Amino acid sequence: MGKLRSGAAEWLVPGHTGRPRLFQNLLLLLWTLFSCSLGGSAQGPGEWTPWGSWSRCSSSCGRGVSVRSRRCIRFPEEDPCWGDSHEYRLCQLPECPLGAVPFRDIQCALYNGRPVLGTQKTYQWVPFHGAPNQCELNCLAEGHTFYHSFGRVLDGTPCTPGAQGLCVAGRCLSAGCDGVLGSGALEDRCGRCGGANDSCLFVQRVFRDAGAYAGYWNVTLIPEGARHIHVAQRSRNHLALVTGDGRYVLNGNWAASPPGTYEAAGTHVVYIRAPGPEETLHAAGPTSQDLLLQVLLQEPNPGVQFEFWLPRERYGPFQARAQTLGWALRQPQPREVEPRPPDPPPAARAAVPTRAPTLVPDPCPPCPDTRGRAHRLLHYCGSDFVFQARVLSRHHQAQETQYEVRILLIYKNRSPLRTREYVWAPGYCPCPPLAPHREYLLAVRRLVSPDGTQDRLLLPHAGYARPWSPAEDSRARLASRRCPL
């Protein structure tokens, strides 16, 4: 268009407008209009021919490159085409037989026994890898202390033995995930070449359950298809991994496995244990089956961090299953990091509005006497849990009383307990009553509602709850031996 304007401007120049000049200008205008309407402005790049077919692989075994090319069609006044005229692709042939001579060695050996370096002397040549440009054919004269550079290596020569990059036109290129050397295309977290992480979801959580007893605790399900799995924990506890058929991949049966690489669910799981103490698990995935992540507790759990990427369609079922398996909290639970949060200082305690016992007469009638060996045995043997616990708080809700307790010592448990639990007691005036900030020996039952929506620890009316003392401790230990099996 620039040409059209200048032509038009020339035509409109006033003054010496002889006829021949006007005619010339008219022709010029017509020509520029014509070339404009064809879209063939003299500037701009030419056009590529379609790509030719891929060449044969440069190597006869193992990795090599194949190349394809295209030509730029352009008028002399046009700019060169944009982009590359050659494209190089990784080709992978069956592995070379053991003892096959490497490609670079062959190229050096071509100069064996031939006069080089402008003298009649001849040498035997072997690759030299200490030179700066790894895509030059640097060969060491065997038995001598010099090397010579014979120019570029042939396309498809590995940049260094065992490395991923291949030399192409004297440059070391690695294949992108599309197989094209130097394309820079990367696989996204979902495993899509050149993707934008949008076909999967990132799951990142911390399992903070402090764990009320030593043993295996479920941390999370890692569903089939998970990628980029990372798990870390810092304590003397151990991470454990279970396959779908219940087989332990590592740290099963209360025995610590050595650090190393383990095969599981079609991927390599790298298990690292640092003296810190710290443990990590990594796996690239994608996993070919569900894995169950557990932690083997020997001390309170300071937190197990885990993350992975999950295909979008797997996320919903994963959430649903985690909930039905009870990894959602059994009851609304305090989520602070355990193990041993300090008790609130007396000042903070005083600030919490509590009923002033001296001013308001206790409206609750006295409780029946529940002391005695027979009573203790009955409750010890008939309960699901017996533990020493400190009452952290007490709340009245409808016709029930809810105690939040911190479990200090477990004598008996039929299912896992957390360090902090809620214990429920029937009525506004439960018997026996528990006072906040005191420690007790409690025998409680697990109560699951028929529809499964509520799962609670229940201290039954006239159940067993005694202030904790060393004597109570030995009585509980004694009782444990007296229960019928």
Strands (E), 330-432: 385-397, 400-413, 420-426
- The DSSP symbol for 187 reads B
Q: Which amino acid is at 15?
A: G
Q: Quote the least distance from Cβ 250 to ligand NAG, whole Å.
A: 17
> In the chain, what are the helix, strand and coil shares in percent, each to the nearest 5?
15, 35, 50
Contact 165/172 with Cβ under 8 angstroms? Answer: yes
Query: Any idea which residue has 């194949």 for tokens?
Result: 66
Nearer to ligand NAG by Cβ, of 417 and 431: the residue is 417
How far apart, in whole angstroms, are the C-alpha atoms of residue 86 and residue 240?
50
Spatial neighbors of 135 by CB under 8 A, at least 6 apart, are: 152, 153, 157, 159, 167, 170, 171, 172
- Contacting positions for ligand NAG (CB under 6 A): 188-189, 196-197, 218, 292, 325-326, 416
Based on CB atoms, which residue is closest to ligand NAG, 260 or 326? 326
**Of residues 108 and 310, the one with the C-beta less far from ligand NAG:** 310
- Left, alpha or beta for 483 (phi > 0: left; psi -120 to 50: alpha)? beta
Residue 189 CB, shortest distance to ligand NAG, in Å, is 5
Least distance CB 238 / ligand NAG (angstroms): 16
Q: Phi/psi of residue 19, each to 5°?
A: -60, -45
Nearest of 408, 479, 398, 415 to residue 438 by alpha carbon? 408
Report in angstroms how near the CB of residue 188 gets to ligand NAG at its nearest.
5
Based on CB atoms, which residue is closest to ligand NAG, 59 or 218?
218
Minimum separation from the CB atom of position 409 to ligand NAG (A): 20
Q: Of 239 and 292, which CB lies nearer to ligand NAG in the complex structure?
A: 292
Token pair in block for residue 156: 């498809």
Nearer to ligand NAG, 330 or 420 (CB): 330
Cis peptide before 161 (omega within 30 of 0): no
Q: How far is the CB of 195 from ligand NAG (least distance, A)?
A: 7
Token pair recorded at residue 330: 């059994």
CB closer to ligand NAG, 218 vs 233: 218
d(CA 150, CA 147): 10
User: Measured from the CB atom, is 291 or 442 closer to ligand NAG?
Assistant: 291
Q: CB 216 → ligand NAG: shortest distance, Å?
A: 7
Q: Strand 227-233 relative to strand 278-283: parallel, antiparallel, unpaired?
A: antiparallel
Shortest distance in whole angstroms from residue 190 CB to ligand NAG: 8
